[in-house]
Amino acid sequence: MKYLIAFLFLVIITLGGKSYAEDTQEALDVAKEKGLVDLSPSEPEIGIVFAVCIFENADGTKKLVDHREAINMSHCLKEKRKAEAKYRKMKVDGIAVGNFIFACDKVKAEIEVLENGDWRIVKILGKHHEAYKKKKIYE
């Protein structure tokens, strides 16, 4: 009796519809037809964002060594304080490593948008010079 029930159960599962992969593919096809899901691979976009830029001051020249993304200037200043604290603690044999300059700035960057809607900076391309143009008073 036990084997009969197990056999019937296997027959029902085998004959009882599509596999999980077929169901998933069908759902993706329907979503694509209706335009609900973009199935194309996400490429980094170029955008203007706030970032904490961390430069190493070596031999009088500044070299970008790290960066952190920020939502706005207030968030940028908070992230800058966190970065300063982190880099202050960096020591080798009790001696501070490097001379760092921290700056909050509007930058042009390659941005990757993650699946959950968050974003991150892939690469900083340079300063956003439009933010530094002197505006006319009457505009």
Provide the percentage of residues in the chain whose pLDDT is more than 90: 15
Tokens matching residue 87: 């880099």
Query: Quick one: pLDDT band at residue 13, thresholds 50, 70, 90?
Result: very low
Coil vs helix vs strand at 43: coil
Q: What does the radius of gyration of the chain's CA atoms come to, in whole angstroms?
A: 27
Please state, rounded to an integer, the average pLDDT across all residues of the chain.
Answer: 75
In the predicted structure, residue 83 carries a pLDDT above the cut 70: yes
pLDDT single digits (tens) 18-33: 454 565 667 667 666 7
Closest CA to 62 of 109, 127, 130: 127
pLDDT single digits (tens) 50-73: 999 999 887 888 888 899 999 888
Q: What's the predicted TM-score (pTM) here?
A: 0.58
Tell me the mean pLDDT in the region 44-54: 87
CA distance 94 to 62: 24
